[in-house]
Amino acid sequence: MGSIYRSEHMKLCQIFFQSESAYQCVAELGELGLAQFIDLNEEQNSYQRKFVNEVRRCDEMERKITYVEDEITKDEVPIPDYDDHIPAPQPKHMGEMEANLEKLEEELLQINKNTKVLKTNHIQLLEMKAVLEHVTQLMDHQSKREAAMSISEAARGEAGPIAVGMRQEFDKPVRDENELKFVTGVISRAKSLAFERFLWRLSRAKVFAKFVPIAEKTDVFSHNFEDKSVFILFFSGEQLRAKVKKICDGFQAKCYTVPENPAERTKLLANIKAQSHDMQAVIEKTLDYRAKCITTAAMNLRKWGIMVLKLKSIFHTLNMFSVDVTQKCLIAECWVPEADIGQVKNSLHMGTVHSGSTVPAILNEMETHKYPPTYFKLNKFTQGFQNIVDAYGIANYREVNPAPWTIISFPFLFAVMFGDAGHGIIMLLAASAFVIFEKKLISMKIKDEIFNTFFGGRYVVLLMGMFAIYTGFIYNDFYSKSVNIFGSSWVNPYKPELLVAMEKQGLDTDSELSLTMPPDTAFLHDYGPYPFGVDPVWNLAINRLNFLNPMKMKTSIILGIAQMAFGILLSLMNHLGNRSVVDILFVFIPQCLFLGCIFVYLCLQVIMKWIFFWVKPAYIFGQLYPGPNCAPSLLIGLINMFMVKTRSPGFADHVNNGGKEWVTVDGKNVTYTVFDQCYLQQWYPNQSLVEVILLLIAVFSVPVMLLVKPFYIRWRHSRGLPIELGHGPDDDHGEFNFGDVMVHQAIHTIEFVLGCVSHTASYLRLWALSLAHAQLSEVLWSMVLNIALSMGGWGGSVAITIIFYLIFSVLSICILILMEGLSAFLHAIRLHWVEFQSKFYGGTGIAFEPFSFVKIIRVYEGLDQ
């Protein structure tokens, strides 16, 4: 039985379809979504396949739907989602669908064409109306006289239009005003100045121009308003008219012929107004009809798109089948989960019934050496964690899946680095909102990629917030402050009189008052340690980092080595699944010995040091421990272990009489002489011998990992026995090459040995990021909120409100939750991908991608990649 622990058992199946039932059977399999079809026509291009014409027809319908959607988008008409189930249409209905879409497209094209022509004519009528309304003002006697004088002076080379415009008296002879020709039209107001200068220079001031701005909008059906002006150009001679019109065309100015007779202009103006009014009514009715077509199309657009999409996907799948020589049967091959073969057979039966065929589709299970795809049955909770694993690589077939363990270890390691209960609560509330309103958010079909990333991982963020609260209480860190829930076991051992005297002395010397808390007198042994997490008194201590940093650093090492050891243990599950005795005996066991003899031994020393060595003298493993100055140095001790240095047993030479120093142990006075560098001596009996044995075991396990498996494979090959070089889809089953096998094994051995060292150091990021988060949180508290809390009066209240809600909240969310949270998230991913999964996970499998309408539609709607 398959589970998330291992991928489902897959079967390669061969299905025989009758031609008349193949379409409906594939449609039913698309609704089921449990069959991944194999392309049996890879040697053929897309134009040589059986259903290429049907696919082309679907492409054409998709193009028409896209055109209609673009038109709907232009009119800003909302396209409602179609949530009801839409069955795949029958092939016989393709003609009707094509006809409807063809009719709609032609109708919209014709409407757009007619509307464009009508709008252009309407603009011309409005511009002509503006010209007729302003031309009388432009053609009055004063304007003609100015134009005649300007042109006469230009002919004599005396002046231009600017000088004439400023002249008040006209005492020089001018041309006859009746000889002047003119051109009227409309130009964009932004081009009028350049237009006038160009005419003046090209004609050598022999063209006189006047402009009047148009106050009304000439394009009443456009949202873009362009300022325009009516112009009139006076000149002399018909030869200059052609040049003037060319210049007008160059500046995209529209010229309109206007009668010189005022009566004719008045009559033409009335006619133009009537035409523009009638044309505006026609355009409005045309736009109303277009809006009705667009609205009706928008209501059905998603339905049409899904129907065409299903049609196309079915024919595309049918093109992957081979056709028998009689052309009456289609043959398909597909991967199906073994547990779901019954559902596939039921879907084939339903497809045969719905198609009306009397011959059922036949499914045969095939024996094959092809590499199967990897498929896990997931739900909305496990999907997010599986995505984290799949981002590194798809699991090999039937390989142990890291996802079940990642569900707990990933948010936990994240929280070890994040470690703030206050920020964890905010993260938990945000994720809870996603979970509570998930149905509503899913129905909204939001296409924003960043939102979908957070929403898809809502359960991951939820657990991250929960574990952040947990580790925040372990660290006793709530917005960089400690919370005294159970009561501290530390008390002030100093008398009030002494404290007053010490404070007065500090004021006199202008120095801070610093108190030492000796464990003998300040710690209440009867109460024991703080019940849960770090004692809150450490938040007040000056040396709190000296206490917290070693604790977090050593905890990080223990967690890291524990996770790596668990990864090696999971590799045993892979070896057992593959029935590989050689991997169990000569890879798994040597790996356990190498890791255990060095790194697990180091973790045991850390735990033993926490348990036995503290500030009081005692007998530990039968040896006198004088005090904390002789607490063993584990780092230097590990170095001495590799260098095989000889060390004396015990920390001091203690006798009943004599000795330089004495301590009280178990009620007895003991004299002793401390050894030089007592923290480097053996702290349990026969430590040097034990470490030499452990070191030898670790060293000899390396050549066992390196040599035994390759020579075993070579021995099986020489005997003609079957060999399996790997378990991935890219295994080379060709000619055996001992050199390749040896190099492959050497790479894995070196990677493991060096990885044990580098990966252990890599887990120190758990401590480093926890320290960084705590320090940033403390800086934010002291530099922002503490300033507001220290203020008094009404001003202080206002400052607290403004600073807390605006500055402190924004900085906390942006820096400590988003930025620091993202940093811890990425580091947690790295620890799982490299340090954890490298011990057992191949990640070179093939993803199971079944033919599924649900997946195809989500991609079509932009909800999936």
**Whether residue 419 has pLDDT greater than 70:** yes
Note the pLDDT tens digit of each residue in 300-328: 999 999 999 999 999 999 999 998 877 78
Token couple for 735: 């000619």
**Whether residue 176 has pLDDT greater than 60:** no
> What pLDDT sits at residue 499?
73
Note the pLDDT tens digit of each residue in 703-747: 999 999 999 999 988 888 877 655 556 554 557 788 889 999 999
> What pLDDT sits at residue 793?
67
**Residue with structure tokens 């508290």?**
781
Q: What percent of the chain has pLDDT over 90?
A: 51
Q: What percent of the chain has pLDDT over 70?
A: 91
Beta-carbon contacts of 80 under 8 Å, excluding residues fewer than 6 positions away, are: 298, 299, 302
**Whether residue 244 has pLDDT greater than 60:** yes
Q: What's the rounded mean pLDDT across residues 690-697?
A: 96
**Whether residue 521 has pLDDT greater than 90:** no
DSSP 8-class letter at 46:
G
How far is it, in rounded angstroms, from Cα 423 to Cα 80? Answer: 39
Q: What's the rounded mean pLDDT across residues 101-113?
A: 94
Phi-psi region of 750 (alpha: psi -120 to 50; beta: other; left: phi over 0): alpha
Q: What's the rounded mean pLDDT across residues 51-75?
A: 94
**Whether residue 238 has pLDDT greater than 80:** no
> What pLDDT sits at residue 757?
94
**Whether residue 256 has pLDDT greater than 70:** yes
**Residue with structure tokens 């896209």?**
66
- Which of 199-203, 261-265, 685-689, 851-855: highest mean pLDDT? 851-855
**Whether residue 132 has pLDDT greater than 90:** no
Q: Which segment of 145-154, 170-179, 441-450 scores lowest on mean pLDDT?
A: 170-179
**Whether residue 266 has pLDDT greater than 90:** no
Chain centre distance of CA 602: 39
Q: Where are the alpha helices (DSSP H) in 719-860?
A: 738-762, 765-780, 786-789, 793-802, 809-811, 820-830, 853-860
> What pLDDT sits at residue 654?
65
Contact between 40 and 320 (Cβ < 8 Å) = yes
Name beta bridge partners: 661.
Answer: 672
Q: What's the rounded mean pLDDT across residues 769-791?
A: 83
Note the pLDDT tens digit of each residue in 23-50: 999 999 999 999 999 999 988 888 889 9
Q: What's the rounded mean pLDDT across residues 452-475?
A: 95
- Higher model confidence: residue 809 or residue 735? 809
Q: What's the rounded mean pLDDT across residues 819-843?
A: 95
Note the pLDDT tens digit of each residue in 594-633: 999 999 999 999 999 999 888 788 888 888 888 888 889 9
> What pLDDT sits at residue 724?
65
Q: What's the rounded mean pLDDT across residues 345-365?
A: 93
Q: What's the rounded mean pLDDT across residues 574-601?
A: 95
323 membership: H or E segment, kind and range: strand 322-323
Q: What's the rounded mean pLDDT across residues 420-441?
A: 95
**Whether residue 60 has pLDDT greater than 70:** yes
Q: What's the rounded mean pLDDT across residues 216-234?
A: 79
**Whether residue 513 has pLDDT greater than 70:** no
Note the pLDDT tens digit of each residue in 268-281: 989 988 998 999 89
Token couple for 529: 């340690």
> What pLDDT sits at residue 540?
83
**Whether residue 861 has pLDDT greater than 90:** no
> What pLDDT sits at residue 506?
60
Q: Burial of 185 by CB count in 10 Å (0-12 exposed, 13-18 middle, 19+ buried)?
A: buried
Helix axes 449-456, 380-392, angle to 10 degrees: 110
Reported as a pLDDT band with limits 50, 70 and 90, residue 767 is very high
> What pLDDT sits at residue 48?
86
Residue 215's nearest CA partner among 224, 228, 202 is 228
Beta-carbon contacts of 36 under 8 Å, excluding residues fewer than 6 positions away, are: 334, 335, 336, 373, 848, 849, 850, 851
Residue 301 CB neighbours (<10 A)? 19
DSSP 8-class letter at 523:
B
**Whether residue 171 has pLDDT greater than 70:** no
Q: What's the rounded mean pLDDT across residues 438-467?
A: 92
Beta-carbon contacts of 830 under 8 Å, excluding residues fewer than 6 positions away, are: 762, 765
**Count, residues in the chain:** 865
Reported as a pLDDT band with limits 50, 70 and 90, residue 215 is confident
Reported as a pLDDT band with limits 50, 70 and 90, residue 474 is very high
Q: Give whole-number Cα distances, 781 to 470, 481, 589, 775, 811, in Å.
A: 21, 9, 51, 10, 10
Token couple for 330: 């289609």
Q: What angle do CA 289, 290, 293 make, to 5 degrees?
A: 90
Q: What's the rounded mean pLDDT across residues 643-659?
A: 74
> What pLDDT sits at residue 169?
38
> What pLDDT sits at residue 454?
92
> What pLDDT sits at residue 733?
53
How far is it, in rounded angstroms, from Cα 792 to Cα 797? Answer: 7
How far is it, in rounded angstroms, from Cα 18 to Cα 186? Answer: 71
- Mean of the per-residue pLDDT values for the chain? 87
Reported as a pLDDT band with limits 50, 70 and 90, residue 165 is very low
Chain centre distance of CA 198: 57
Q: What's the rounded mean pLDDT across residues 450-458?
A: 92
Residue 559's nearest CA partner among 661, 666, 467, 655 is 467
pTM assigned to the model: 0.84
**Whether residue 658 has pLDDT greater than 60:** no
**Whether residue 142 has pLDDT greater than 80:** no
* C-alpha dihedral sign at 43, 46, 48, 51: positive
Q: Which segment of 95-99, 343-347, 668-672, 689-693 scores lowest on mean pLDDT?
A: 668-672
Contact between 37 and 338 (Cβ < 8 Å) = no
